[in-house]
Chains A and B, each alone.
Chain A
Amino acid sequence: MSKYYLGVDLGSTTSKAVIINEQDEIIGRGITNTRANYAVAADIARDEALYNARFSVLEKKLEKEINARPEYKKYITDLESVFQYEQFKVKLDRLGDELVKTCNNFFKEEKKRNEILNHLRNIRRAFKPKIKHDYLYNNLGAKNQFFRDIVSEKYNEEVNKLDMQLFEPLMTVWDKSISPAENQRVQFNFKELVHKAMDELREKYKNLPETTADTSVNFDAEINLLKGNFDHVAETLRQHIDEIAELEFHISNMTGTGYGRALLPFPSDCIRSEILCHAFGAHAVFPETRTVLDIGGQDTKAIQVDKYGLVTSFQMNDRCAAGCGRYLGYIADEMSISLNELGPMAMKAEKEVNICSTCTVFAGAELRELTNLGEKREDILGGLHKAIIMRAMSLIARSGGVFNEFTFTGGVARNPAVIKYLTKLVRENYGDIIKINIHTDSIFMGALGGAMFARRNIQADLPSSKKEKETV
């Protein structure tokens, strides 16, 4: 039986899980927003990684076929997003139940209660098909794909269309319902759900328009080809799906890391510092790495590693989290744009407006003042991104500087403007010879490092952590 290893990185903003095989290859990734209940966040990330692993295995099984007909790969990615939609639907039903429950508890007066319940039904009816459409046609794109973000965006949209008087009661009901709904872990039957997804997919392909006139769907010649072949492929696909659904993923060992690591329901000798995990993950992917910069939700770490990937020293921001992921989130809120739009907008800057940014909250005030002075949003954002990197550079200097090669990890590494200014400043300060590595999986580096520690069975058994091993 194949052995698999799990790493869970419970960050301040997102929780990540990675499953690797015995060759250190990532076969499953899962990510969710961290919530008050850490254990649920970890479970959800792990479940997602396990589902993702099944799809990876499916893709591997069909390797030959896909090599022969590369367009077939689309079936698998499509199937996975429809599968996610199926999960989403179940969670949405749970949320619906919560909303009704809250409404019943909160509004004692029957008339008012019925009015709100009626609106809730209408809201749900209005946004459900939109979300389905986004999932089926991969329109979620660059936006955050966590349940809470998707639903709350649509819910807000609908509430804003209604009378202002309804805003407060509807938002109160929402605020009281979303967390309980989100904190329920839903156990899905993979096989059942994936077959449902297949049915949904059949519908999708059947209903695809014959021409490219409809621009609301990503229609192209390839899809046209797929459309014609779906029924033909579906039968074999279903057989393979049954096989992967039966697969047992034997997790031989696991490591938990990140801020909430102590709260993970893991045996305590399987808990490890995120500094070590990020460094180990980054070093595994880029073995020549000597300096690692990780910008996460609320901290920035500058880490020096040796040829083994062992940490020799590190520095972290101590009293202030300005310049981290949460800072960008705050700025995005201030500008009423999504987090993922920040970087691309900053890339359009023609100059960098000088931002002080020693404090996240003050940066908000600075932003308004600069807008007031007529500075362009793009240029302000350019300045903000540069300021973030200036802070990171100071931390890097404290940790000893940049040594070749330099690897950048963490959620913020997906932001193109951050990469632009980081590259510029690293080269300016430490020379053009520095090779800068950024991996598409950079947000998963901590979880990957954790999984790799688990595979090597390197114990973190300090005397303080010698408790009875619990089974997870």
Chain B
Amino acid sequence: MADPKEAIKEKSMVIQKDMLAKQFNDLSKAKELGKKVVYTFVPGNLTELILAFDMLPVYPEINALQSGMRKKSGDYIKDAEKIGYSEDVCTYVKCDIGMMLNGNIGPTGEKLPSPDLLLLSYTGCFTFLKWFENLERLYPGVPVAMLHTPYQEDGKITKDQVDYMVKQLKEEVIPKFEQVTGKKYDPARLSKLLENSVKAEEYWVKILEMAKNKPSPIDAYFAGVYYMGPINTAFRGTDECVEYYQELYNEVNERVKNKQLPVNPEGEMKEERFRLVVEGPPNWTNFREFWKIFYDMGAVIVASTYTKVGGLYDTGFRHNPAEPLESLAKYCMGCYTNLNLPQRVELIEKYVKEYKADGFLINSIKSCNSFSAGQLMIMRQIEQRTGVPVGFIESDLVDPRYFSYANIKNRLESYFQMLEQRKIILKQEQAIV
């Protein structure tokens, strides 16, 4: 991650840093603390259920992206390729495998504990299946619980689908949790955690929607990936999570009142020139450089789809403490990568219109089929439906070999000039009319 001496951070970021430090410290001492460790994925994660069993979750994707930011992913990927993983395999997988081969040292430099359970809750990404098959081989004998989230092929969540998922939770997931922890499932405890989830979700949606202000007080992509951390991963349902979002909400609210612009690692932006909606994950290996291209050009991301991979709340979904398992099922099915392409188009169209964006940009990820498939269609649809200029760049999640600074900068520069020129000429046209 960025050097704290150089980077200027918001207060909430500092809080989050402490939360993460504690999380990884707990993880490093899991065995001493007598806590069981479960490895699982971010999209459609069952954090509240995991916490209801006093287990500690580990998210391999997060470790991979952290390794990317800490410039370690290149070596990890090479190590995974050395033992036979092909060039085309998802780089999160290779980075994660490489990290494990190198002693499983986490982002804080502390060793990550081995899993007591592999919870394969796969949502929107079929590589997850293969990923955990490989982890199973790395950790022989560790039980695997599988939760299949049906894809929203028809663009809606049906009762049958919810029943199907609840059945899996009751018959597969919960029994495995009970077996590993030796504890009984406590629905009341889960509901209590879900109450906290709802509180955090309320704040989170309000925070995201503050980007509708002109100028936007936040960057909903580059800073958004920090903001989304607690709610999308290990903290949803906790008191700290609610506190974090309350603090963040106050902070952003303050920024709106003062008409302040987003904060980036070099300070506060001076001018909002372009408002963009971005689709796709960011590149992690050159995150700071990538971000800098945007803020140097005065571009602010007002909405992004990537921040919704761990849960989509701004279309109305909230966890429901009254129906804990059903709401977990609906949450899993509602995550961004589990939406079908027309739903994704509709969501992005809504963002472009409601957040009054000047443009729509796709960062297409070479090694992520689940995100990248269909993006050209999405782009064309958005162009037709909204009339904003669209842009397309390509990079990768954590393989530094696929981040070409010159190519990306060249395309982004052209794209921003395109937006700028459009503003000027359209203004001239309007003046004539």
Interface of A toward B, CB cutoff 8 Å: 259, 272-276, 308, 310-316, 318-319, 398, 400, 458-460, 462-464
In the complex, how many angstroms separate the beta carbon of B216 from the nearest chain A beta carbon?
Answer: 16
Residue of B273, B297, B413 with most chain A CB atoms under a 10 A cut-off: B413
Contacts of A460 in B (CB 8 A): 417, 420
**List of B residues within 8 angstroms of A319 by Cβ:** 394, 404
Q: State the Cβ distance, A261 to closest chain B Cβ, in Å.
A: 9
A267 to B422 Cα, complex, angstroms = 22
Whether the pair B270, A463 counts as a contact (CB closer than 8 A) is yes
The 4 closest A-B pairs by CB, nearest first: A273-B414, A464-B296, A275-B414, A311-B418
Contacts of B296 in A (CB 8 A): 462-464
**In the bound complex, what is the Cα–Cα distance between A70 and B411 (angstroms)?**
48
| Contact assessment for A462 and B298 in the assembled complex, using a CB-CB cutoff below 8 Å | yes
Which residues of chain A are within 8 angstroms of B391 by Cβ–Cβ distance? 313
Q: How far is the CB of B365 from chain A (nearest CB, A)?
A: 13
Indicate whether B389 reaches chain A with its CB closer than 8 angstroms.
Answer: yes
**In the assembled complex, which residues on chain A have CB atoms less than 8 Å from the CB atom of B297?**
462-464
| Cross-chain contact B429 with A316 (CB below 8 angstroms) | no
Q: Is the CB of A458 within 8 A of B421?
A: yes
With a cutoff of 8 Å between Cβ atoms, the chain A residues found around residue B376 in the complex are: 398
B-side interface size class? 20 to 34
Complex interface: chain B residues within 8 A of A311 (CB): 389, 414, 418, 421
Q: B390 contacts which chain A residues (CB < 8 A)?
A: 312-313
B251 lies within 8 A of chain A by Cβ: no
Say if the beta carbon of B118 comes within 8 Å of chain A.
no
B392 within 8 A of A: yes
Contacts of A316 in B (CB 8 A): 407, 411
| Contact of A273 with B410 at beta-carbon distance under 8 Å, contacts A312-B389, A313-B390, A458-B424 already known | yes
Given A314-B414, A458-B421, A462-B420, 6 extra CB contacts under 8 A: A311-B389, A460-B420, A462-B417, A463-B297, A463-B298, A464-B296
CB atoms of B270 and A313 under 8 A apart: no
Asked if B416 CB lies within 8 Å of chain A CBs, one says yes
Alpha-carbon gap, A464 to B392, bound state (A) = 21
Closest A-chain residue to B292, C-beta based?
A: A464
> Which of B271, B413, B425 has a CB less than 8 Å from the CB of A463?
B271
* In the complex, residue of chain A having the shortest beta-carbon distance to the beta carbon of B412: A273
B380 an interface residue at 8 Å Cβ cutoff?
yes
Contacts of B392 in A (CB 8 A): 313, 315, 398
Interchain CA distance A308-B411 in the complex, whole Å? 21
Q: Are B424 and A313 in contact (CB under 8 A)?
A: no
Chain A residues positioned under 8 Å from B314 (CB to CB): none
The chain A residue with its CB closest to the CB of B384 is A400
Task: Determine the distance from Cα of A259 to Cα of B420 in the docked complex, in whole angstroms.
Answer: 20
| Residue of chain A at shortest CB distance from B408 | A318
**Pairs across A and B, CB under 8 Å, 14 listed:** A272-B417, A274-B414, A275-B414, A275-B418, A311-B414, A312-B390, A313-B391, A316-B411, A458-B421, A462-B296, A463-B270, A463-B271, A463-B298, A464-B296
**Is B298 touching A313 in the complex (CB atoms < 8 A)?**
no
CA distance A316 to B420 in the complex (A): 20
**Residues 389-433 of B contacting A (Cβ, < 8 Å):** 389-392, 394, 404, 407, 410-411, 413-414, 416-418, 420-422, 424-425, 429
B8-51 CB mask vs A (1 if < 8 Å, else 0) is: 00000000000000000000000000000000000000000000
Q: Give the CA-CA distance A215 to B90 in the complex, in Å.
A: 67
Question: How far does the alpha carbon of A312 sit from the alpha carbon of B404 in the complex, in Å?
Answer: 23
CA distance A189 to B411 in the complex (A): 41
Query: Is the beta-carbon distance between A313 and B421 smaller than 8 angstroms?
Result: no
Q: CA of A313 to CA of B425 in the docked complex: distance in angstroms?
A: 16
Chain A minimum-CB-distance residue to B274: A462
List of B residues within 8 angstroms of A315 by Cβ:
392
* Cβ-based interface call for B379 (8 A): yes
- Tell me which of A273, A275, A313, A318 contacts B379 (CB under 8 A): A313
Nearest CB of A to B238, in Å: 40
Cα separation A462 to B64 with both chains bound (whole Å): 35
Task: Tell me if B240 is interfacial: C-beta within 8 Å of chain A.
Answer: no
Give complex CA distance A308, B421 in Å: 10
Q: A349 vs B429: C-alpha distance in the bound complex, in angstroms?
A: 50
CB <8 Å contact, A310 and B425: yes
Closest to B393 in A: A318
Given the complex, which residues of B lie within 8 Å of A274, measured CB to CB?
A: 414
- Given A276-B421, A313-B390, A400-B380, A462 and B416 touching (CB < 8 A)? yes
* In the complex with contacts A272-B417, A318-B394, A463-B273, A313-B389 CB distance below 8 A: yes
Contact residues in B for A273 (Cβ distance below 8 Å)? 410, 413-414, 417-418
Residues of B contacting A400 in the complex (Cβ-Cβ under 8 angstroms): 380, 383
Contact with A along B253-277 (1 / 0, CB 8 A): 0000000000000000011010000
Q: How far is the CA of A319 from the CA of B391 in the complex (A)?
A: 17
A314 to B389, CA, bound (A): 10
Residue of A nearest to B297 (CB): A462
Do B425 and A276 touch (CB < 8 A)?
no
Name B425's closest neighbour in chain A (CB-CB): A308
User: Nearest Cβ in chain A — how far from B357, in angstroms?
Assistant: 15
- Select from chain B the residue with minimum beta-carbon distance to A308: B425
Q: Pick the contact of A276 from B270, B383, B404, B417 — CB < 8 Å? A: B417
Chain A neighbourhood of B404, CB < 8 A: 318-319
Whether B380 contacts A310 by the Cβ 8 Å rule is no
Q: State the Cβ distance, A267 to closest chain B Cβ, in Å.
A: 15
Instruction: Tell me how far the C-beta of B426 lies from the nearest C-beta in chain A, rounded to whole angstroms.
Output: 8
Contact partner, A313, options B383, B407, B416, B417, Cβ 8 Å: B383
Residues of A within 8 A of B379 (CB): 313
The answer to whether B418 and A276 have CB atoms under 8 Å apart is yes
Question: Cβ of A310 and Cβ of B422 under 8 Å apart?
Answer: yes
Smallest CB separation, B364 vs chain A (Å):
9
Cβ distance B52 to chain A, nearest Cβ, rounded Å: 46
